[in-house]
Amino acid sequence: MLLLSELIQATKREMEGRGYAEATVMIYEKIWRMVASYAKEAGVDQYSTDFAFEFLKWKFGDLTDFPRTHTQAEYFRGINKIDEYCKYGFVSSKRPRRKAYIFPKGHDEQIRGYLAKRKSEGLSEKRIQVFMLYLERFSSFCAEIGLEQIADVSQEHINQYLAYVANYTASTVTASISCLRAFLEYLYDNGVIGQNLSYLLPKVRLSSENAIPSAFSKDEVENVLECIDRSNPTGIRDYAMMVLGSRLGLRSSDIRGLTLSNLDWEENKISFVTQKTGKMSVLPLLNEVGDAIIDYLKVRPVSDSKEVFLRAQPPFTKLSGSALYWVASSYIHRSGVRIPPGKKHGPHSLRHSLSSIMLESSVPLPIISDILAHSSTDTTKVYLKIDIRQLRECALEVPLSHLRRA
C-alpha cells in the first residue's frame, strides 16, 4: 500500500493526466497538504477511510448535514479523489452531470441504434441512461486505445477493457459486463461484426448472499443511542432518525424521505412507499419511535418542506443523500463501539442489527422480508450468514408489535 505522501502525489499526477484544470488541482493540493500535516501530527503514514473521517471531524467538528458550505464541499471532493485513487488505482474523468452522452464518431451510429432497439422493447428511460453511461465508458476507452470503428472490435480490445473496468466496484463490473455482452450480441446479429464476441465476457453474477451484513449487538446499539446529546435540536433530530433505523429498520432513503403525511397518530402506524423497491410498508409507530419524532417536531425549524427531518442549518430543506451516513457514522464512532476493519458503520448497519436479531428470535423470513420491505425473501437470506453465536450475544429485543403482525 502506498504511503499517504506517495498516494497524494499519484493522485495529483492522475488528475493532471485526465485533464483537470491547473487551478482545480492547486485547490486540492492545498487540502492535501493539510491532510498530510494532520497525519504527521497523528503519527499516521497510510491512508484509510476512517482516517479521512477523523480528519474531516477534526477540521469541521460537527459533520451533520456535511457538506454544508462551499469550503466543506471542496474538502469532501479533495478527500474523495485520494480515496478513489487508493481504492481503484485511478481518478474518474471530470464530467458534469448531464443527460447527453458523447460517443466516438465511429461508434455513435451503432450504439444509438442499439439503444433505440432497447427502448422499443420497453426498456425504461432510467435504464437507457444507465446503458448509455456504460457504453460511453466502453467506447471512449476503445477510442483511446486506437479503435476508431466499432466494427473492428476484437478480442484484444475486449480483454484490455476488462482489465480497465476491473478497477471499479464489483457491482459496476457486473453491470458493465452485462451491458457490453448484450451490445456485442446486437452487433453480431445485425452483421456489424462477423463473430459473436459476447462469449469472451465472463459470466459474473453479483449475489447479495456473498455478503455478510455488519450488525451491532444490543449493548452496542444502546451505546450509540445513549451517546447522542439531546439537549439541542440537532441531537433531538438525530436521535429520532437513529431510532427509526434501529427499532424499525428503515433505510436511510426512507428516513430522509419520510413525510408528515406518512405518520398516522390515531392508528399508531407509519405508512410509506419504500424508495428502493417501490413496495408499500406499514409499520407500527412504537412508543419510543413516536415520542422521539414528537420531541423533534417540537423543535423542528419552520419550513414549507413536507419531509419530517430537515437540515439543521438554513435553508431548512430535505436532508442530502449523504447526511444520514455522516450522522450515523459520527455517533457510532463517538460511542466507542469496536469497528473492525471492513465492518460498515453507516445507517444501514442499524437495519442489519434489527434484521439479524429478528432472525435469531425465530421470526420467519417472509415476515422479516415484509417488515423490511425487501423485494423477496432471497434478499433476507443474507442474514443467515451471520454467526449464530454472535447473535446470541447481541439479543436486541424484537418489538412485540412486530410479532403480532406475524
351, 381, 402, 405: the catalytic one is 351
Active site residue 237: no
Question: How far apart are the C-alpha atoms of 74 and 254, rounded to whole Å?
Answer: 28
Q: Of 190, 41, 31, 167, which Cα lies nearest the Cα of 111?
A: 190
237, 247, 374, 402: the catalytic one is 374
107, 157, 181, 348: the catalytic one is 348
251, 256, 333, 345: the catalytic one is 251
Question: How far apart are the C-alpha atoms of 384 and 373, rounded to whole Å?
Answer: 18
Question: How far apart are the C-alpha atoms of 30 and 171, rounded to whole Å?
Answer: 33
The DSSP code for 381 is: G
CA angle, 41 then 46 then 48, to 5°: 105
Q: Is 346 helix (H, G, I), strand (E, B) or coil?
A: coil
13, 87, 276, 306: the catalytic one is 276
Active site residue 117: no
Question: How far apart are the C-alpha atoms of 364 and 371, rounded to whole Å?
Answer: 11
Question: How far apart are the C-alpha atoms of 296 and 318, rounded to whole Å?
Answer: 15
Active site residue 348: yes
The region, left, alpha or beta by phi > 0 then psi within -120 to 50, assigned to residue 268 is: left
Q: Is 263 helix (H, G, I), strand (E, B) or coil?
A: strand
Question: How far apart are the C-alpha atoms of 250 and 397, rounded to whole Å?
Answer: 17
- Please give the single-letter amino acid code of residue 184: L
- Please give the single-letter amino acid code of residue 227: C
Active site residue 251: yes
Catalytic residues: 251, 276, 348, 351, 374, 383
